[in-house]
Chain A
Amino acid sequence: MHVNAPAPTAEDIRAVVVPLTSLEGPLLPMLHAVQHAWGHVPQAAVAVLADVLNLTRAEVHGVISFYHDFREAPAGRHVLKICRAEACQSMGGEALAAAALDRLGIGWHDTTANGAVTVEPVYCLGMCACAPAAMLDDRVVARLDGARMGRLLDEAGA
């Protein structure tokens, strides 16, 4: 979704989540569906989900805020997740991440001024035997070094 796209209406959100009502434990699949459609879980979704699932808005908010994946505002055009876990640390992942953040002039969870990239920490991508690793959107890249990280950032338009 483009960052300047209009916010979805309650009807738009309802159309996305109602088909999932018959699942057992439908709230997480619904939240993933909303985030997939709009890149984040807009505030308007809380009331809709509460109504559809007969929950309080506080309960829905509690679930959204518990999980790292769900964002309340849109991210940059690309999301770069850099692994901070032990296996990547053992192969210099920490210095690699620090250099990437330094080049972009941002901190963890921040988005570059041009809106191109949001950088987030991730704790393990299962690339522990070919560390260090990162994930640009849904694409995992491993055996990273400064040069490969630089190419990833270029590709993302950072």
Chain B
Amino acid sequence: MRIFVPIDSAARAVGADAVAEAIAREAEARDIDVQITRTGTRGMIWLEPLVEIDAGEGRVGFGPVAPEDVPALLDGRLDSLGPVDDLDWMRRQTRLTFARCGVIDPLDLDDYRAHGGLAGLRRALGMTREAIVQEVTDSGLRGRGGAGFPTGIKWNTVMQAEAAQKYIVCNADEGDSGTFADRMIMEGDPFTLIEGMAIAGIGVGATRGYVYLRSEYPDAIAAMTRAVGIARQNGVLGGSVLGSGHAFDMEIRTGAGAYVCGEETSLLNSLEGKRGVVRAKPPLPALEGFLGKPTVVNNVISLATVPVIFEKGAAHYAGFGLGRSRGTVTLQIAGNVARGGLFETAFGLTLGEVVNDIGGGTASGRPVKAVQVGGPLGAYMPVSKFDTPMGYEEFDGAGGLIGHAGLVVFDDTADMLRMARFAMEFCAIESCGKCTPCRIGAVRGVETIDRIAAGDPAAADLLTDLCETMKDGSLCALGGFTPFPVMSALTQFPDDFACRKEAAE
């Protein structure tokens, strides 16, 4: 009998290790032959720790399982959720990037191969550089880190640049609240990121890669570090990738707790060992990136999606989606939500379907008040905008941004003035200090919101003006997008700002 218990840090954070230990102990006591495999998570975080048992007829799920449930689990007295692949949450997804996550042992390269791993890289090795880049362009893949820039165009710029050394840099500085897809894939299927980076390197002519991984993710750092070592031992990385004669190798680098290093130019400065201060663009990192050399900087999910594009073909990938948002979006449903987790699907579902239908509404059972989409720099969307389809242009049109596709749900107890104040406070704490609108503006923003709270009637106009200045005058998205949460809170939830004024009067 095979038993699968997730090793993902979210599962561990709610007790998966204790469950795995209890299974081993109880199985021994009962003298049953059990093989325990630690996998990534399926993404159904509300069911974690989710244990799967395969007694020869497919994987059946149980969850959430507590250590004290284990005797009943092994005696067949615990209610099952049914076959995991048949669960509504799983059946409604289009799992391309996350196909293996939660299924395989993350560090078993044979398991990875058996589930389609390395097929994309093998195909890419038979193609010219131009054909590789064209395949990515044809897939319609856009940067999943938040900006949504077409990945193929970026690769093409780097491919055409002449330089003795080029680099692939993976942005794994996933600092946005409400997002955990990068962490999940790095812990649950690290070889897919390695394979994607190798394809990128071969496509643009880069022989070295770096993953800049935030220090808040110790489990992901450990998994990626071990996976790189295994890939190197097995010839996936090194002087001759899969014996092709093409060289590509990579290193994992740990960040140091600076949110702004998720911005690609400050990330590059940090990787070079400098203060993580934003650089002015141009020059583009594609031409003058790491150490001044042409560099592809892509998000984890963008790079981890590359293998499946090559395995199944660009047309297959581009066949999913909505308008200019092609392929799948890895929705991360989080916060005060009944069914939180990762849900990979074609672009196009509406926000309301995601929150109410898939997420099941709030965890508290109270009405939904707002959903912050796209991290701390994303807008608070009111329920009245729940018909907005999940797509880059569609969200832009509704005054929001899709970002890294994280959604944080708030119930009606949320105080939107406090959330707006927090957005400014966070910007002040994390500002790199290079440009004035962000460095000073965020501090003044906190003060101005405090004036609104104290009943100053002129302060709301001042806040609006300040947000305009930050939006127009900041170098990067930290100062430039902090106005999104602030202004959406102010305009969509005026009662939270007005009632204080009246109360003060």
Contacts and interface: CB of A to CB of B under 8 A. Distances in A.
Contact of A130 (B48, B177, B422): B48
Interface stretch (A3-11, A96-104, A111-119, A139-147): A139-147
Contacts of A24: 208, 272, 290-291
Interface in A70-108: 70, 81, 85-91
Nearest to A70: B256
B340 interface: yes
A130 B9 CA distance: 11
The 10 nearest A-B residue pairs measured at CB: A27-B273, A129-B340, A85-B177, A128-B334, A67-B256, A68-B257, A142-B13, A129-B45, A90-B335, A69-B257
Main secondary structure of the interface of A (DSSP, over half): loop
- Count chain A CB atoms within 10 A of each CB in B333, B334, B336, B376 and give the residue with the most: B334
Contacts of A130: 10, 13-14, 45-46, 48, 340
A91 B341 contact: no
28 contacts: A24-B272, A25-B290, A29-B253, A31-B256, A66-B432, A67-B276, A69-B257, A81-B216, A86-B408, A87-B334, A89-B419, A123-B175, A123-B177, A123-B426, A124-B174, A124-B176, A126-B184, A126-B217, A128-B332, A129-B46, A129-B332, A129-B333, A129-B341, A130-B13, A135-B216, A140-B9, A141-B13, A142-B10
Interface in A27-74: 27-29, 31-32, 53, 62-63, 66-70
A68 to B, nearest CB: 4
A142 B258 CA distance: 22
Given A67-B257, A85-B376, A125-B216, A90 B9 contact: no
B422 A89 contact: yes
A13 interface: no
B266 to A, nearest CB: 10
B274 A63 contact: yes
Contact of A63 (B275, B342, B372): B275
Interface residues of B, number: 65
B293 to A, nearest CB: 10
Nearest to B334: A128
A126 B180 contact: yes
A90 B256 CA distance: 26
A127 interface: yes
Contacts of B176: 124
B104 interface: no
Contacts of A135: 216
A128 B408 contact: yes
Given A89-B422, A125-B216, 12 more contacts: A28-B270, A32-B254, A63-B273, A69-B255, A85-B426, A88-B177, A122-B257, A123-B259, A129-B333, A129-B342, A135-B216, A140-B10
Contact of A90 (B46, B270, B410, B426): B410
A89 B420 CA distance: 13
Contacts of A63: 273-275
B32 interface: no
Contacts of A126: 9-10, 174, 179-180, 182-184, 216-217
A90 B336 contact: yes
Contacts of B340: 128-130
Contacts of A66: 258, 275-277, 432
A72 to B, nearest CB: 14
B286 interface: no
Contacts of B14: 130, 142-143
A90 B422 contact: no
- Count chain A CB atoms within 10 A of each CB in B46, B174, B274, B372 and give the residue with the most: B274
A131 B178 CA distance: 10
Contact of A25 (B254, B273, B333): B273
A157 interface: no
Interface of A: 23-29, 31-32, 53, 62-63, 66-70, 81, 85-91, 122-131, 133, 135, 138, 140-143
Contact of B334 (A31, A131, A138): A131
B6 interface: no
Interface in B196-233: 208, 215-219
B147 interface: no
B276 to A, nearest CB: 6
A66 B178 CA distance: 25
A109 to B, nearest CB: 12
A128 B177 contact: yes
B12 interface: yes
Nearest to A28: B273
- Count chain B CB atoms within 10 A of each CB in A85, A133, A141 and give the residue with the most: A85
B393 interface: no
B409 interface: yes
Nearest to B183: A126
Contacts of B182: 126
B253 A28 contact: yes
